[in-house]
């Protein structure tokens, strides 16, 4: 029986070209998300440590954006097909296959970690450990930007994502998990959805203490 990581990998392997075509414009049509990525990159540059991981990078469009914003960005993804596409689309950048709960990155070595809607498939009971892994690779003062779908209710909500099952989160609950992992939330942005999915879009920007 496949675990949720195996199911997620297989699901994204099967939609690479369609998924990549949907996001070919990067974040040009998503001004709120773009503004948070730009702010994240500026703050990471301010730490003096330009190394940044785009965790769950998919076809590599946001990794490329981080590079253009002056970071030494590289992408990591569970799906080997996504990694292959990203390498072909952005040959000057580094992309590797990796699981979010076991990053092939040294302790305290990064100035930033970006998780752009890549934690949404993680069951709620596994999210604290996954966040701890992102914190492990951040240098003191390093930044984490996590984007996800938000719900107004008190608890996470499982829903049928177009690729594979996912979860939306109450923003305050997610911020509490960040605090529990040793992160201080600097900013939050919650806005109407960019799609017809119905959930709000949320972005939390936090610093390792």
CATH code of 37's domain: 3.40.50.150
**Residue 189 pairs with which residues in a beta bridge?**
203
Structural domain of residue 141, as residue ranges?
Answer: 4-208
48: how many CB neighbours lie within 10 A of its CB? Answer: 9
| Helix or strand run (H / E) with residue 111 | strand 110-116
Rounded to whole angstroms, how far apart are CA atoms 104 and 162?
Answer: 29
Tens digits of residue pLDDT in 145-182: 999 999 988 999 999 887 788 999 999 999 999 999 99
Tens digits of residue pLDDT in 69-92: 999 999 999 999 999 999 999 999
For the whole model, what pTM was predicted?
0.94
Tens digits of residue pLDDT in 93-107: 999 999 999 999 999
| Number of folded domains that form the chain | 1
Q: Are 195 and 29 in contact (CB under 8 A)?
A: no
Tens digits of residue pLDDT in 6-63: 778 867 777 788 887 887 677 888 899 999 999 999 999 999 999 999 999 999 999 9
195: how many CB neighbours lie within 10 A of its CB? Answer: 10
Rounded to whole angstroms, how far apart are CA atoms 207 and 209?
Answer: 6
Structure tokens at 41: 């990159």
Model confidence at 1, pLDDT cuts 50, 70, 90, reads very low
């Amino acid at each position: 029986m496949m675990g949720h990581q195996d199911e997620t990998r297989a699901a994204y392997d099967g939609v690479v070209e369609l998924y990549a075509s949907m996001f070919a414009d990067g974040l040009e049509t998503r001004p709120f998300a773009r503004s948070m990525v730009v702010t994240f990159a500026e703050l990471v540059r301010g730490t003096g440590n330009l190394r940044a991981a785009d965790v769950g990078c998919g076809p590599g469009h946001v990794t490329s954006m981080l590079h253009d914003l002056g970071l030494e960005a590289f992408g990591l993804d569970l799906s080997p097909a996504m990694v292959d596409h990203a390498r072909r689309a952005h040959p000057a950048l580094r992309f590797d296959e990796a699981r979010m709960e076991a990053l092939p990155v040294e302790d305290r070595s990064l100035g930033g970690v970006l998780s752009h809607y890549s934690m949404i498939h993680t069951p709620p009971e596994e999210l604290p450990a996954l966040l701890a892994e992102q914190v492990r690779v951040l240098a003191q003062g390093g930044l984490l930007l996590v984007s996800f779908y938000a719900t107004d209710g008190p608890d996470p909500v499982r829903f049928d994502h177009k690729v594979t099952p996912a979860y939306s989160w109450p923003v305050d609950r997610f911020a509490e998990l960040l605090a529990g992992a040793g992160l201080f939330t600097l900013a939050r942005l919650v806005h109407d959805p960019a799609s017809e999915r119905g959930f709000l879009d949320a972005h939390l920007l936090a610093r390792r203490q």
